[in-house]
Amino acid sequence: MKRRPSTEATEAWIRLMRIQSRVLDAVEQDLKKAGFPPLAWYDALLELSRAPGGELRPVELEKQMMLPQYSTSRLIDRLVDEGLAARRECEKDKRGLFVEITDAGRDLQKKMWGSYSAAIERHMGSKLSDAEAIQLAALLDRLGCSCNRAPKEIAPAR
């Protein structure tokens, strides 16, 4: 017989999902008000900027961002159309593609970080002490341990 979640665990789950949605919506609105594209653009540009040579195969970007394939394909199309990324044929197999960040993509990602970091502070940092933020991160890490992923940094690489 499988164990069911407790009422407390279920309530915590509901709150986590609601808060995640509300905070992400608020951050998206802050970026929009500042004249920036959606947060997914920042995430994609960040992943590309951190990759060796500033490039990833689309499937690698998809895994890093945890987006469905169709969303990743559309996002890559938009980034390429805006000159923030470029597609490059794989030299080894001539069939595969790489997506690489452009200088304009690096510039936008760095500019977006100013608004994004301010939104993080406004919607989370200002509401928690540093000790509470550490405690929350530890609790979230416990939830994520079954995913076998290291915590992902969101700030630009220095």
**pLDDT, tens digit (0-9, with 9 covering 90-100), for 87-137:** 988 777 767 899 999 999 999 999 999 999 999 999 999 999 999 999 999
Distance of alpha carbon 77 from alpha carbon 148, whole angstroms: 30
Q: Return the ∠ at Cα 63 (arms to 57 and 68), rounded to 5°.
A: 100
Q: Give pLDDT, residue 24.
A: 93
Class of the CATH domain delimited by 35-116: mainly alpha
- pLDDT at position 15, please? 95
How buried is residue 20: exposed, middle or buried, by Cβ count under 10 Å (0-12/13-18/19+)?
A: exposed
* 126-147 per-position pLDDT tens digit: 999 999 999 999 999 998 875 5
The full set of domain ranges for the chain reads: 35-116
Residue 73 · residue 58 · CB < 8 Å = yes
What's the whole-model pTM score?
A: 0.82
Tell me: the pLDDT tens digits for 57-89?
999 999 888 777 788 999 999 999 999 999 988
